[in-house]
Amino acid sequence: MKFVNQNILIDGIDKKILRALMEDARTPILEIARQVGISGAAIHQRLRKLEKSKLISGSKFIINPKALGYTTMAFVGVFLEKPANDLEIIKQFKRIPEVTECHYTTGNWSILIKVLCKDNLHLKHLLTTKIQLITGVLRTETFISLDQQIDRQIKI
């Protein structure tokens, strides 16, 4: 069965390749080639096709923040004075290393950010001395994650 969207045609072989690399991006291409039953060169060609279509955009190592002492994860809903100033506010968020994600949202907040902090005191300091002092931020609403239960990509 082939999956088709407006940019790319994905067949069963592509899915096997993607699943193997999603499981462990360090899996050698030749090992995947043996599992799938095609040459290493064919795997490379398919990966280039998938990158060109923007279905995949490289690979990365994932750092465990807890190993570095970042034990508090929180989500902060940001209320803006004027949503027209959001680009400047996003620039300010990009300057804060603890902000790991930033999303435009519907609902009460204009923006939802994910932050990683060493502890609750660090979170309080981050909120009161950095995030809430950004010009245009009206107020924030913070939710601390007690434990992350699911962390996965979309199924291929």
Does residue 24 sit within a domain? Answer: yes
- C-alpha span between 39 and 58 (Å, rounded): 21
pTM of the model: 0.84
Q: What is the CATH number of the domain that holds 80?
A: 3.30.70.920
- Specify whether 46 is located in the same domain as 82: no
- Specify whether 23 is located in the same domain as 82: no
- C-alpha span between 3 and 45 (Å, rounded): 18
Does residue 26 sit within a domain? Answer: yes
The pLDDT of residue 3 is above 60: no
C-alpha gyration radius of the chain: 21
Q: What is the CATH number of the domain that holds 17?
A: 1.10.10.10
- Specify whether 71 is located in the same domain as 140: yes
Higher pLDDT, 7 or 88: 88
- Specify whether 70 is located in the same domain as 140: yes
Does residue 57 sit within a domain? Answer: no
Beta bridge partners of 9: 4
- Specify whether 34 is located in the same domain as 76: no
What's the pLDDT tens digit per position in 25-77?
999 999 999 999 999 999 999 999 999 999 998 888 889 999 999 999 999 99
Per-residue pLDDT band at 1 (split at 50, 70, 90): very low
- Specify whether 41 is located in the same domain as 96: no
Does residue 123 sit within a domain? Answer: yes
What's the pLDDT tens digit per position in 93-148?
999 999 999 999 999 999 999 999 999 999 999 999 999 999 999 999 999 999 99
The pLDDT of residue 4 is above 90: no
Does residue 150 sit within a domain? Answer: no
* Residue 133: domain span: 65-145
Domain count, the chain: 2
Torsion sign over Cα 45, 49, 51, 55: negative
